[in-house]
């Protein structure tokens, strides 16, 4: 789901950077409004490492192979820290793994970071009415993972379909994009399950980690 260099026109990559800059500014503003903004940095740092490594673990889904994104998990556990964490993780993925690219860093940050912020707000709903419980944490954790990855796939598909260059075989490329989107359906549910299991585990062993989100 990382869009590499040379696929999108300059106008789209430029808009991606502008949107990413705006969202990063907003996220940092929200982080600074916290009582102790540094409190969650260790958590954000470790999850950045998890996000960075996740794209290297391939899951074979014929005819292609996919990888976990973990943006729903980051959104659920980190809140507004998730966006800068994903941005840093994407930067290292681009320069080290060749996943994505530096020109498309802004677009990729929006594809994966924006759904993470949506996942954060979904996960907060577990506290709605009578506070959270283990079951509600699992349910909203699952929903966070599913929705975040689902939106990421949808954004990836829409951005590609609306920017198909004229010199390629559009019909063939469109079919390949749809095939890739279908291959991500199992990933969406795996992401939901992973997010649910991790949030439930954390709530059980150290619920304090979830206090701030």
Partner 1 sequence: MHKENNYIVFIIKLKWQSVIAAIAITMAFLFMPMEVHAHGVNINYTSNVEVEIIATYDSGTPMAGAQVAVYAPDDPTTPWLTGICDGEGRFSFTPDTARPGIWDVQVRLAGHGGMIHIPVGGDTTTADGQGGFSHLQIGIMSACVIWGSIGTALYFSKRRKT
Residue 143 near residue 122, CB atoms below 8 Å: yes
Alpha carbon separation from 100 to 55, 111, 124 (Å, rounded):
11, 11, 30
Looking at 42, 129, 131, 205, which residue binds partner 1 (CB under 8 A)? 42
- The reply on whether position 53 binds partner 1 by CB under 8 A is yes
Looking at 13, 27, 48, 195, which residue binds partner 1 (CB under 8 A)? 48
> H or E element: which one contains 122?
helix 105-124
The span from the CA of 22 to the CA of 17, in Å, is: 9
Q: Taking the CB of residue 27, how many other CB atoms lie within 10 A of it? A: 23
- The reply on whether position 208 binds partner 1 by CB under 8 A is no
Q: Which is nearer to partner 1, 56 or 201 (CB)?
A: 56
Q: Which of residues 19-38 bind partner 1 (CB under 8 A)?
A: 36, 38
- The reply on whether position 80 binds partner 1 by CB under 8 A is no
Closest listed residue to residue 156, CA positions, set 19, 7, 14: 7
- The reply on whether position 58 binds partner 1 by CB under 8 A is yes
- Where on the chain is the footprint of partner 1 (CB under 8 A)? 2-7, 36, 38-39, 41-43, 45-46, 48-49, 52-53, 56, 58, 60, 63-65, 92, 96-99, 156, 160, 167-169, 172-173, 176-177, 179-180
């Amino acid at each position: 789901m990382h869009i590499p260099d040379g696929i999108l026109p300059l106008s789209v990559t430029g808009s991606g950077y502008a949107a990413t800059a705006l969202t990063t500014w907003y996220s940092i503003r929200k982080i600074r409004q916290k009582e102790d903004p540094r409190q969650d940095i260790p958590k954000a740092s470790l999850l950045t490492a998890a996000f960075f490594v996740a794209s290297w673990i391939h899951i074979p889904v014929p005819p292609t192979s996919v990888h976990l994104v973990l943006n729903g998990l980051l959104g659920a556990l980190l809140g507004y820290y998730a966006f800068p964490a994903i941005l840093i993780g994407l930067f290292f993925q681009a320069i080290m793994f060749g996943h994505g690219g530096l020109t498309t860093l802004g677009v990729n940050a929006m594809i994966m970071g924006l759904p993470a912020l949506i996942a954060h707000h979904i996960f907060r709903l577990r506290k709605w009415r009578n506070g959270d419980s283990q079951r509600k944490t699992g349910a909203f954790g699952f929903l966070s993972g599913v929705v975040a990855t689902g939106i990421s796939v949808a954004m990836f598909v829409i951005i590609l379909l609306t920017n198909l260059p004229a010199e390629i075989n559009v019909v063939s490329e469109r079919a390949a994009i749809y095939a890739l989107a279908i291959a991500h359906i199992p990933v969406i549910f795996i992401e939901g399950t992973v997010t649910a299991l991790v949030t439930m585990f954390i709530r059980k062993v150290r619920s304090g980690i979830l206090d701030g989100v």
